[in-house]
Amino acid sequence: MRILVVYTHPEERSFVGALHVRICERLRARGHEIDDLDLYADHFDPVMSRYTYDHYLDTDANRAEVVPYVERLLKAQALVFVYPVWHDGLPAMLKGFIDRVFLPGVIFTIDENHVFRPALHNIRRLTAVATYGASRRRTSHVGDLPRRFFIRNLGATLPAEADIQYIAEYGLDAASPTQRARFLKRVTRTFDAW
């Protein structure tokens, strides 16, 4: 399977960086073709331009500034996102990537009755791996927006039979090495089963 791995963290030696490396290792070991996209190393510009904003619904023009990324997304059969949760949300770099690449005509269409129709038919599997500094209880209290986004929003643009997973570890601001090792082992097991 061709898998687009979208990694978002400015420090490759971080725990999120270690998760990213492990995920790619395990997927390659399983024989998958990995398209490894490190948004920071790639110097992705997360800021939507005025041009893209003005042409957002023009499906011939809206992807002009991000053609290579759209092509990578459309070639993928699966998506894996690896990122930290900051201030109860996605890092700006990842949010900007989604805003700029997951466009009308790419992941959804709008019909003559203004109904949104899923269009990301090439994706059979979506997995998000997230780390949270806050506890699960505190995160649930504020609605766990990243989890909801990947499962409900982005998941709704995929085929009905697509497999969607959200793997998260909470409370990492106060985590012990044992807790981190346990989560790394859980992530390893998950991707060994792909």
How far, in Å, CA of 99 to CA of 95, rounded?
Answer: 6
* Structural domain that includes position 21: 2-192
- Domain count for the chain: 1
Percent of the chain topping pLDDT 90: 96
pLDDT exceeds cutoff 90 at 10: yes
pLDDT of the residue at 111: 87
> Given this model, what pLDDT does residue 110 score?
87
* Greatest Cα pair distance in the chain: 54
User: Can you give the CATH number for the domain in which 16 is found?
Assistant: 3.40.50.360
Note the pLDDT tens digit of each residue in 97-133: 999 999 999 999 988 898 889 999 999 999 999 999 9
CA-based Rg of the chain, rounded to a whole angstrom? 17
Packing angle of the helix pair 67-75, 92-101 (nearest 10 deg): 80
Beta strands in 71-154 (DSSP E): 78-85, 108-110, 116-118, 125-132
Average pLDDT, the chain: 96
